Amino acid sequence: MTYTMLDRTVEWPGSYRCAASVSFDVDLDSMLELTHGSAARKRVSGRSWLRYDEVAVPRILRLYRDLGIKQTFFFPGWCIENYGHLVEACAADGHEIALHGYQHEVSYEQAPGEEERLLDRTIAAAEQVLPGVRPVGWRAPLYSLSDNSPRLLIERGFRYDASLMGDDVPYLLRCAAGDLLELPSEWANDDWSHYAVAPDLDYSVQVQSPASAGAVYRAELDAARRHGGLWIAVWHPNVSGRVARLEAVAELLADAQNNGAWLAPLAEIADHVNGCIADGRFTARVVYPDNKPSTVHTATSERV
Ligand code: ZN
């Protein structure tokens, strides 16, 4: 028996039963530099773990070519400035480039005006490396969206945020500047929950096997498929791009493709959902960053 779990679902394109997307956050050693400043240069081992991204990104791109899929890569602005070749490689293969803070700073801890300044610096870095390509997606570093972030993102033309965990299906963040689509994920689908040991960043979990982490991802993905939801993996090349783990990822994604999941970049999913909201096929829940009670979107919804 299938139980009804979701109050609302999106009508996914064609005969797809759910939307699924792997987002890789390519953080490199941005956090090491931010956390330790000039002392970061002494932390050679910690840096080597973070810079494994340089090995893993080309490997992930090869896998995506083999599977015939396009996905999303999030880059902090500092990484775009220092590792432009990785951004170019992802873009050259037709993947979406989205943005992820400047140096992996916590958005809600920024002094007045600083969040805005860093956002503009990150956008400028992307424009420098990819002339004519304007990223439309955002994930706040460490899921640290501030109450100010939706306004700043809307004012700069972003079409979605992917920093929150407030639903199983997309919803709207509403502020005075307008509505921003939220594409939510959850810790279960974040690879740091299963694999990350980063003493230089004061974080560590008990490392799981690829089979164990894969079982968690698969349970989440299967549930999304049964109920018409959305599955977003929040992974990191230096964590999930290790050989044994990426082999498990390859199997998971091939199965997803063969079993009714729409594997697409987040921007494509956002455009589909925004279209469904605009023509009334999807009644999105509306959430206010300033903590007012949530409501639902209608053509005549009261704006703040
Ligand atoms: Zn990150």
3-state SS track over 221-284: HHHHHHHCCEEEEEECHHHHCCHHHHHHHHHHHHHHHHCCEEECCHHHHHHHHHHHHHCCCCCC
> Three-state SS for 4?
coil
How many angstroms separate the alpha carbon of residue 59 from the centre of ligand 1?
Answer: 19
Average pLDDT, the chain: 96
How many angstroms separate the alpha carbon of residue 25 from the centre of ligand 1?
Answer: 5
How many angstroms separate the alpha carbon of residue 12 from the centre of ligand 1?
Answer: 28
Query: pLDDT band for position 225 (50/70/90)?
Result: very high
pLDDT on residue 301: 63
Q: Are strands 171-175 and 178-182 parallel, antiparallel or unpaired?
A: antiparallel
The answer on pLDDT for 133 being more than 90 is: yes
Tokens standing for 95?
A: 């993947």
The answer on pLDDT for 195 being more than 70 is: yes
How many angstroms separate the alpha carbon of residue 30 from the centre of ligand 1?
Answer: 9
How many angstroms separate the alpha carbon of residue 98 from the centre of ligand 1?
Answer: 12
How many angstroms separate the alpha carbon of residue 167 from the centre of ligand 1?
Answer: 21
Phi-psi region of 229 (alpha: psi -120 to 50; beta: other; left: phi over 0): beta
pLDDT on residue 130: 97
Residue type, 19: A
Tell me the C-alpha distance between 153 and 160, whole Å: 8
Over residues 45-49, the mean pLDDT reads 96
The answer on pLDDT for 302 being more than 70 is: no
Q: What structural domains does the chain harbor?
A: 18-282 (3.20.20.370)
Tokens standing for 164?
A: 């929150």
Tokens standing for 101?
A: 């803070």
The pLDDT tens digits for 58-102 are 999 999 999 999 999 999 999 999 999 999 999 999 999 999 999
How many angstroms separate the alpha carbon of residue 304 from the centre of ligand 1?
Answer: 31
Tokens standing for 52?
A: 């494994």
The answer on pLDDT for 304 being more than 70 is: no
What predicted TM-score, i.e. pTM, was given to this entire model?
Answer: 0.97
The answer on pLDDT for 189 being more than 80 is: yes
How many angstroms separate the alpha carbon of residue 272 from the centre of ligand 1?
Answer: 26
Tell me the C-alpha distance between 273 and 267, whole Å: 10
The pLDDT tens digits for 90-127 are 999 999 999 999 999 999 999 999 999 999 999 999 99
Over residues 221-229, the mean pLDDT reads 97
The answer on pLDDT for 145 being more than 60 is: yes
For the stretch 286-291, contacts whose Cβ atoms lie closer than 8 Å and that sit 24 or more positions apart, written own/partner, are 286/171, 286/172, 286/174, 286/179, 287/166, 287/171, 287/172, 287/173, 287/174, 287/182, 288/173, 288/174, 288/175, 289/145, 289/147, 289/148, 289/149, 289/150, 289/173, 289/174, 289/175, 290/147, 290/175, 291/147
The answer on pLDDT for 300 being more than 90 is: no
How many angstroms separate the alpha carbon of residue 140 from the centre of ligand 1?
Answer: 8
